[in-house]
Amino acid sequence: MGLFPKTSRLRYRGEFERVFDAKIAVSDGLLIVFVLQNDLQRSRLGLSVSRKVGNAVVRNRWKRLIREAFRKIYETFPLYLDVIVIPQRNAKISNGKNIEASLKKLIKKAIKRILNNEK
């Protein structure tokens, strides 16, 4: 598992609100992903894991697995993005591979939506 520096994270309420206000959201049975293109030279991740997902142990496991999946795939993005990931309420944690595959698929779908809106 690698480092996940503060520069790679959304940390402030205003940053989260800006991404949510863009209303570019995609989801599947496992995750909900909100994205917004940024002008920075890197992509950043924000996590929103509510208590409805489970107790503290479960929530922290979700966060670890999502961060690791994001760390593995963010260099493949053609754009610099701010990404917020929310686990679906009824989703069960399986393994990191499922989360990574879901995240990759959803971000590709969101990027297509961003590129179609620009044209």
pLDDT range class, residue 1, cuts 50, 70, 90: very low
Question: Listing from the earlier edge strand, what are the strands of the sheet with 44-47?
Answer: 25-27, 31-37, 81-87, 44-47
Look at residue 92 and give its three-state secondary structure.
Answer: coil
Mark 83-104 as b/e (b = at least 16 C-beta within 10 Å). Answer: bbbbbeeebeeeeeebbbebbb
Domains of the chain with bracketed CATH: 6-112 (3.30.230.10)
- In this structure, are residues 108 and 26 in contact, taking their beta carbons and an 8 Å threshold? no
pLDDT of residue 116: 87
| 4: pLDDT strictly greater than 80 | no
Average pLDDT over residues 5-13: 91
pLDDT range class, residue 117, cuts 50, 70, 90: confident
Least-confidence region, from 11-15, 44-48, 94-98: 94-98
Nearest alpha carbon to residue 110 among 86, 75, 82, 91 = 82
